[in-house]
Amino acid sequence: MAAQSLNLDAAKRARLAAAEIDLHAGVARFVLDELLQVGRRASLLVGKIRHVSELIETFAEHVLTRAQRSSRFVEESDQIRAGDIDHRAESTLQMRAETMLMTADVVARLDADQIHMG
């Protein structure tokens, strides 16, 4: 089927079933009240993703992110609550604040060849 323009209207339901579906378009627009995607695997290859949302909720057993560079800008508060947290840097770890508080219930340890305070 080839056409300059094609409209498909269904009052209740439209269904497309195939072993494989290819969609090629310069611009694709989807306006949905609710999107349900069920699959074993999803692969997305894009140059840039812009996501605007009021709330993002992710529930996962394991989340892994690998990146060449990563930046995150949070205007108000950023909270991490975990059983253990491990941050490692190969060269420099920098933390700056107007006020910094560090508290430990049992042991607080700082180990280095040189320690400069003041």
Residue in the block written with tokens 């439209």: 14
Lowest mean pLDDT among 46-50, 105-109, 110-114: 46-50
- Average pLDDT value for the chain: 91
Q: SS3 for 70? A: coil
Give the pLDDT score at 73: 95
Tell whether the model's pLDDT for residue 20 goes beyond 90.
Answer: yes
Q: Which distant-in-sequence residues (6+ apart) come within 8 Å of 93 by Cβ?
A: 87
What mean pLDDT comes out for the span 102-112?
Answer: 94
> Torsion angle of alpha carbons 75, 88, 45, 34, nearest 10°?
-50
Tell whether the model's pLDDT for residue 45 goes beyond 90.
Answer: no
What mean pLDDT comes out for the span 8-23?
Answer: 92
The ranges assigned to domains in the chain are: 45-72
What mean pLDDT comes out for the span 80-103?
Answer: 94
- CB-based contact 8:14 (threshold 8 Å): yes
Please give the C-alpha separations between residue 59 and each of 41, 52, 62, 80, in angstroms, as whole numbers. 16, 19, 9, 15
